[in-house]
Amino acid sequence: MQKMLTIISNVLRGSASRNGAELVSEGARVVVSARTYADFTPQATFDIKKCDLHKLEEGPPLQAVLTREEGLQYYRTMQTMRRMELKADQLYKQKIIRGFCHLYDGQEACAVGIEAGINLSDHLITAYRAHGYTLTRGGTVREIMAELTGRRGGIAKGKGGSMHMYTKHFYGGNGIVGAQVPLGAGVALACKYLGKNELCVCLYGDGAANQGQIFETYNMASLWKLPCIFICENNKYGMGTSVERAAASTDYYKRGDFIPGLRLDGMDVLCVREATKFAAEHCRSGKGPILMELQTYRYHGHSMSDPGVSYRTREEIQEVRSKSDPISMLKDRMLSNNMASVEELKEIDVEVRKEIEDAAQFATTDPEPPLDDLCNHIFYNDHPMEVRGINPWSKLKSVS
C-alpha cells in the first residue's frame, strides 16, 4: 500500500513537472525519452556543452544519455571522493597525516567522468593530486586512508604516502611535476606494442603544462602514433601562480600543436565522460594521441600547507562552489528528472559517511609498518641482500 502511494505520488510529481514550466539549469534542457510506471525515470538525455576543438572536424556528441544506475553510481563515487578528501583534511590538521597532502575536492567530475569513458583494463597515470584516481582505479577508501596515515594496511604498505599510491593499471601518484607525462606515453607505447587494444590516460595540470618534457612527449607520441590521451586538468592555478602568469598561451588544448585537442567543462561529469569516450575511440582506431583540457577547480589550496586564498579570492571559491559544484550539478539533474529521490540520495550520503568513518577508524588504528619491512622492496625478483644501516655495525635485511 505504502509502495503504491509512493508510485502514484511520483507519477503525479513527474507529470506536474512536465506540464509545468521548463526546467532550465545551467543551459541543460531535458527530454524525457522513456516513460514507464516504475518509481523513477530509468534514463534521460541531457544536452551538454559543446567542446572547443583543435585540429578536429567533429567533436563529442552534444547530448549524453544517463541511466539511473549510472547516475547513482557517479553520485556515490563523487560523494565518496569528496568526503574522503574532507576527512583527509581533518586528519591532516590533527597531524595524523604528515608531509604533503594535495586534495582533490571540486575536481571529482574529472576522475569519475574519465573512468566512465574508459575500461579498467586501460591504463592511467597522474601527478600528486591522486587520491581520487586511486579510488576510481580500484583502490578502496580504507587502503587510501591507511596509506595517508602511514600504516601497514595502506595501499603502498605505508611506504609511499599521499603522492605514491598505485593499483593495477594505475601508475600513481607522482611527485615530480611533469614527469608522469613521458611515463604515460611509455605506458601507451607498451599498450601498442602488446596489441591488446588498451590505451593510457595521462594527466597533468596547468602548472605542469609548461614543462619541456611534455613537449618532447607530444612529439614522440605523435610520431609513433601512441594510444595516449593527454589530459590537462586546468584548475586555473599552478600552486600559487595563476595561468596568465605562467603560460604564454593558456589554450592548453592547443599546446599539443599537431595533436588534435578538445577543451571542455570539467565540472560536468557527463561532458567529461562523452569527451573521454570520443578520445578513447580516436586512440583505439590507431589515429595516435589526442589532448583534452578539462576546465575545473580545486576548493582547497595547492596542498594542506597552502590556505589557497593569497592568490585567489574567497568570493571566487564560493562562486564556483555555489554555481558549478560537480556533485550538485549531477544531483540537480537527477532530481529534476525524477531519476532519484531526495531520500535516496540522502541515504547514499549516509552510507558514504559511514564508509569514510570506518575507513578513518581503520586508518588511525592500524599499526605502522613493521621495522623489518624497512629495507624490503629495493629490488624485484632478486635474492635477499644485506643493506647498510645507520652505522657500520647495523646490517639490515632486504627481501624482494
Residues at the site binding other proteins, with contacts judged by CB under 8 A: 98-100, 147, 150-152, 154, 156, 158-164, 174-178, 207-208, 210-213, 238-241, 245-247, 310-311, 368-369, 371, 373-375, 378, 387-393, 396, 398
Under 8 Å CB-to-CB from 362, ≥6 apart: which residues? 142, 145, 146, 153
Residues 6+ apart with CB under 8 A from 280: 117, 118, 122, 199, 229
Least distance CB 201 / other proteins (angstroms): 21
Rounded to an integer, what distance in angstroms lies between the CA atom of residue 167 and that of residue 143? Answer: 11
- Smallest gap, in angstroms, from Cβ of residue 164 to other proteins? 6
What is the nearest approach in angstroms of other proteins to the Cβ of residue 310? 7
Q: What does 312-340 look like in DSSP terms, one character per residue?
A: S-HHHHHHHHHHH-HHHHHHHHHHHTTSS
- Residue 26 CB-density burial (10 A; 0-12 exposed, 13-18 middle, 19+ buried): middle
Rounded to a whole number of angstroms, the minimum distance from the CB of residue 152 to other proteins is 8
Smallest gap, in angstroms, from Cβ of residue 235 to other proteins? 14
If the CB atoms of residues 55 and 152 are measured against other proteins, the closer one turns out to be: 152
For other proteins, the closer CB: 174 or 296: 174
Our CB check for other proteins shows the closer of 324 and 376 to be 376
Min. distance of Cβ 366 from other proteins in angstroms?
Answer: 11
Q: Is 235 exposed, middle or buried (0-12, 13-18, 19+ CB in 10 A)?
A: buried
| Nearer residue to other proteins within complex by CB, 197 or 213 | 213
Nearer CB in complex with other proteins: 13/388? 388
**Of residues 40 and 128, the one with the C-beta less far from other proteins:** 128
Distance CA 91, CA 45 (A): 40
CB of 192 to other proteins, least distance (A): 27
Q: Which residues of 192-220 are buried (b: 16+ CB within 10 A; e: fewer)?
A: beeeeebbbbbbbbbbbbbbebbeebbeb
Least gap, CB of 180 to other proteins (angstroms) = 11
- CA 10/CA 253 separation, integer angstroms: 44
Contact 176, 185 (CB under 8 A): no
CA–CA distance, 323 with 328 (Å, rounded to integer): 9
Q: What is the phi/psi pair of residue 43, to 5°?
A: -160, 160
- Would you say 59 or 207 has its CB closer to other proteins? 207
Nearer to other proteins, 59 or 238 (CB): 238
